[in-house]
Structure 1
Amino acid sequence: MSDEIKPIEDLEQRLHRRKLEYDALSIPEAATQQAVQAGIRKATRQRKSRLRWMMSSVSAAAIILIFTGCIRVSPAFASFVEQLPGMDSIVSLIRQDKGLMMAIDQSLLQKVGITDEHNGTSVTIEGVITDESRMVIFYTMKGIQNPKNLMYDIKLLDKDGKDLPVGFSYSYPNPTSDEDIYENMINVSFTESLPPQELTVVFKEGKEADANEWRITFPVDHSLTQGMKRVIPVNETLVVDGQQINVNQATLYPTRLVLDMTYDPKNTKKIFGIGDLQLVDEQGRVWTTKEASLPEDGMSAFFESMYFSIPKKLTLHASGIRAVDKDKLHIQIDPTSGKIEGGPQNLKFLKKEIKGKDMILHFNITDSENANSGLSFTNIKDNKGKAFEIKGVSWYPSDAEASITIENGATAQGALDMELFSYPVLSQSPFTVDIPVNP
């Protein structure tokens, strides 16, 4: 056995043990709740606003459980793990992104290794991989004083100290085999801007003004993926559940494929999303999507990249659309009497709850059991015309129930007028579209 192969097999054994640990986890139902930051309610109108989804470490484990597959590790990927010591416990999560794995195999990882330390706790940006569309930042934390409280707020700043105009998501730090080291990654999406030449990542502990804060500034090397972009025209129009959808083009980057679609403005329904999107190649391999950008007139779906493994044939599959008649988008709720006017027939108001200064509204949506998208609203006003913002959204798939937290909603007077921003009910109208990757 060669010296090169043995470290790879050792890594495979560690990954296999980690997979067995996750397989044995009992994931509580609460871990499937979606925690949506306040910015999401305006995402379609303020595309430059930062959209941050945060999940507990258990939720991250739940994501890992979604995917299965044989564990094989290339020498390049083994080298990647060696470069980022202590990060093997999230390798299983990284490995489920075939495009990211292939990009790493192509030596597109930029090693950073810069640390900031305060009061015995340090944060290290270990490495980054980026192209014109996406950036993944790998980090570790050491010496966490209170492992039970891993609530860290993360900011991304440009060279002038201003918030980077991007969307990004992250999970709370996960423990590693070393009890003193935690780690995870930050997933950044560039929709209207290019990656910065210099980036500062800020970690803040809790919400207190005097909370500990860690700042790491590092240059971003764009040369590794410069010019790596391929535009694939599609230009297909289809009708789904009576609504017209235009599949315009796919743009292929090393870290992901972006599929752009627009909706006909003459549609009678507002489309909130498309269900179970996936790309399937001629070998039956599935290239999944986990994210989407939702502008007002369509969507951009982000898939695993096949940049370094172009298939002979690629087909888009979907199970249907989430849509509501445009004349049922506005609803009025009297939180006190429970009366609801407008909206879809299967939307039921259950109760209100006052928690401090906030108001929590509870709903039931029939025919939405186990939906992977929840309920949300925008343009919320009381009968005095006072505007309110959504502070948080929770979705309980198995019960088909949702709760909406309205910031400072305890002061709202009379009935609330609001507009649907997201709706989980999926029409069963599957469709397929061929993507001409080899015209």
Structure 2
Amino acid sequence: MIDKEKDILLRNAYEVNQHAEASQEKHLYNAMRGGIMTGRKRERRRKYSLGIGMAAAAVAVILILSIVKAPVKEVVQATVRSEVNKPWSDSELFRSSSVRDQSFESLLDRNLIAPVYHSVEKNGFRAEVMGAVTDGRKVYVLYNVQNDSVHPVVHAGFTLDYGAVKAPSIGTSLDITKGTSEIKPGQTKNFIYSANLLPSVSYPKDVKLSIILTETSEKALLSSSKKYRTELDIPFELDSDMLKEQSHTVTANRTLIVDGQKINVQKVLYTPLGTYVDIEYDKNNEKQIFQLINPVLMVEKGGKTEKTYYPSLITSYNSEIYKDSSKATLVFKSSEYNDPDSISLKAFGISAVEKDQMKIVVDLNKNQIIEAPGSNLELVEPKPEDYAEPGEILLRHKFDNAHYLSTDNAFSETFTDAEGQVHKKVSVNKTTPGGSWAGSSVSRDGTAEDQLRYRFGENAKDYPQPLTITIERYKNPIMDTQAVELYSKK
């Protein structure tokens, strides 16, 4: 039965991956990318990540932005605000196959959206927050933007401000229901903002959605002047406890052991927006765990077992929810808590590396890998079309069971020479093409090959060899099917 279930999971995962790759044309990334060029910078130090996630590039864009003060003084513009008191009636405007969060449509089906209908007008633009919903762990804001100006625009930023605190920006996504993200003169487009919230924070009811629109001309995108940008702030009320009566917490405090490594399952939270399973990797584990492989939540009642697959994963790598890489939350699709006989969590393995092997040691003069996790990483001799720069290495990483993985490889932005001196890796030389050596390919049987690059710098061969790169994340699936009972009436 386990082999059959694994086969179904593998086949379904492959189909999900293929669908995600095919839907990239609907992704906001290309248009939103122009908005980043308006003089903004990331709030958080960017980790040097190698490889491309199989589905992470699909459909939604994650922007981490902070405002850079422009030297040009902004002209004060008149702002007109309005409110309409009416029940929610616009679910059909937000139904779209381009929305990455597959559970979102069920929110519309169950009529969970609270009406807002607050709008603001400024500089020929009108933005209206039409509705919103939150369970205290996640928030969705549904809004539209109407362009009555003479210039096409795209988003250059968006935040949800709770006054003293803001919704986390890392992991925030913005989906468009139809077409591209560019809003042409005369157009109105609908957007779905979503963000994971900090469980430890009690968010106030008063909230403000702030969006920044920028013109799309080359001059506007390259300029830091505020004259090309319009900021629209829409205040409204949103109760973080609005779904409290429909939520239920099951305290677990049980331990799942996979490949000898302990995963502490703390609790299961049922809400209309999702089923959250909070876990923590034991700090005494010999291996650094990056993710569980295909976790399955199993609920038994009256002799029947309901299984829920394919949770999303909240970690310190993709959100601000956790600062500690040992903590994570599995987010399964919403299911009603119906007083079950038992609840169990099963996993088919882990992606992990021995803690003392979290490094890659390379001798550039010998063109040799001295040390690396496992035996499936190799140095590749660059070809002319790879455009490898001096001091840059190309790596090939082959592994199995790739369909089960949702995390990428990631290495630190610094490396250490043989004498302990720390150096920064270098950015790509923008005068040369990036080359074709990059990305990931996955076969139907789950075998995969990642093509990775790391740039030590043109003087790196003069450093004392070998050079050591610290691993932050690494694709290394270890298959071992295990389960733990989280709750039982008995």
Q: Same fold (TM over 0.5)?
A: yes
The structural deviation recorded for 1:273 is 0.9
Asked if the contact 1:275/1:321 (under 8 Å) is kept, the reply is yes
The structural deviation recorded for 1:421 is 1.7
Equivalent residues in 2 for 1:24-423 (5 A)?
Answer: 27-28=21-22, 39=44, 55=57, 57=59, 82-84=89-91, 86-90=93-97, 96-97=102-103, 101=106, 105=110, 108-117=112-121, 120-143=124-147, 152-159=156-163, 163-165=166-168, 167-175=170-178, 180-191=187-198, 192-204=200-212, 205=214, 208-210=223-225, 211-215=228-232, 216-226=234-244, 229-281=247-299, 282-286=304-308, 288-294=310-316, 295-307=324-336, 309=338, 311-333=340-362, 339-344=368-373, 345-350=375-380, 362-368=394-400, 369-370=402-403, 371-378=405-412, 380-381=414-415, 383=417, 384-387=421-424, 395-398=439-442, 400-403=449-452, 413=460, 414=463, 417-423=468-474
The structural deviation recorded for 1:378 is 3.1
> In the aligned structure 2, how far is the partner of 1:38 from the partner of 1:340?
35
The structural deviation recorded for 1:320 is 0.7
The structural deviation recorded for 1:264 is 2.8
Structure 1 residues 85 and 103: alpha-carbon distance in aligned structure 2, compared to 1, 3 A threshold? closer
Aligned partner letter, 1:253: T
The alignment partner of 2:242 has SS state of helix
Structure 1 residues 110 and 32: alpha-carbon distance in aligned structure 2, compared to 1, 3 A threshold? closer
> In the aligned structure 1, how far is the partner of 2:26 from the partner of 2:481?
25
Asked if the contact 1:103/1:308 (under 8 Å) is kept, the reply is no
Asked if the contact 1:376/1:404 (under 8 Å) is kept, the reply is no
Structure 1 residues 258 and 437: alpha-carbon distance in aligned structure 2, compared to 1, 3 A threshold? farther
Asked if the contact 1:360/1:403 (under 8 Å) is kept, the reply is no
> In the aligned structure 1, how far is the partner of 2:98 from the partner of 2:116?
18
Aligned partner letter, 2:229: N
Q: Identify the residue that residue 45 of structure 1 maps to in structure 2.
A: none
Query: After superposition, what is the alpha-carbon deviation per residue over 1:3-50, rounded to whole angstroms, capped at 9, x for unaligned?
Result: xxxxxxxxxxxxxxxxxxx9x9894597799x9x884867xxxxxxxx
Q: Identify the residue that residue 18 of structure 1 maps to in structure 2.
A: none
Farther-moved stretch of structure 1 (341-350 vs 148-157): 148-157
Aligned partner letter, 2:90: Q
Asked if the contact 1:202/1:213 (under 8 Å) is kept, the reply is no
The alignment partner of 1:113 has SS state of strand
Structure 1 residues 199 and 261: alpha-carbon distance in aligned structure 2, compared to 1, 3 A threshold? same
Structure 1 residues 90 and 148: alpha-carbon distance in aligned structure 2, compared to 1, 3 A threshold? farther
> In the aligned structure 2, how far is the partner of 1:32 from the partner of 1:336?
45
Query: After superposition, what is the alpha-carbon deviation per residue over 1:360-413, rounded to whole angstroms, capped at 9, x for unaligned?
Result: 86543211444432101236245552456999xx8524252254688xx76885
Asked if the contact 1:231/1:252 (under 8 Å) is kept, the reply is yes
- Count of aligned pairs between the two proteins: 378
> In the aligned structure 1, how far is the partner of 2:427 from the partner of 2:269?
33
Q: TM-score, normalised by structure 2?
A: 0.61
Farther-moved stretch of structure 1 (305-314 vs 422-431): 305-314
Asked if the contact 1:57/1:171 (under 8 Å) is kept, the reply is no
Structure 1 residues 91 and 267: alpha-carbon distance in aligned structure 2, compared to 1, 3 A threshold? closer
Structure 1 residues 40 and 293: alpha-carbon distance in aligned structure 2, compared to 1, 3 A threshold? farther
Aligned partner letter, 2:376: N
Asked if the contact 2:250/2:267 (under 8 Å) is kept, the reply is yes
The alignment partner of 1:400 has SS state of strand
Aligned partner letter, 1:346: N
Asked if the contact 1:38/1:390 (under 8 Å) is kept, the reply is no
The answer for unaligned runs of 5 or more in structure 2 is: 1-15, 30-41, 48-54, 63-86, 215-220, 317-323, 429-437, 443-447
Asked if the contact 1:113/1:126 (under 8 Å) is kept, the reply is yes
Q: Identify the residue that residue 73 of structure 2 maps to in structure 1.
A: none
Asked if the contact 2:140/2:193 (under 8 Å) is kept, the reply is yes
Query: After superposition, what is the alpha-carbon deviation per residue over 1:27-82, rounded to whole angstroms, capped at 9, x for unaligned?
Result: 4597799x9x884867xxxxxxxxxx98454899xxxxxxxxxxxxxxxxxx96x3
The structural deviation recorded for 1:324 is 0.5
Structure 1 residues 385 and 314: alpha-carbon distance in aligned structure 2, compared to 1, 3 A threshold? same
> In the aligned structure 1, how far is the partner of 2:175 from the partner of 2:107?
26
Q: Identify the residue that residue 46 of structure 1 maps to in structure 2.
A: none
Structure 1 residues 149 and 278: alpha-carbon distance in aligned structure 2, compared to 1, 3 A threshold? farther
Q: Identify the residue that residue 435 of structure 2 maps to in structure 1.
A: none
Structure 1 residues 339 and 219: alpha-carbon distance in aligned structure 2, compared to 1, 3 A threshold? farther
Q: TM-score, normalised by structure 1?
A: 0.67
Determine which structure has more spread, i.e. the larger CA radius of gyration.
2
Aligned partner letter, 1:251: L
The alignment partner of 1:364 has SS state of strand
Asked if the contact 1:347/1:364 (under 8 Å) is kept, the reply is yes
The answer for unaligned runs of 5 or more in structure 1 is: 1-21, 43-52, 61-78
> In the aligned structure 1, how far is the partner of 2:479 from the partner of 2:26?
23
Task: Work out the percentage of aligned pairs sharing the same amino acid.
Answer: 16
Farther-moved stretch of structure 1 (416-425 vs 136-145): 136-145
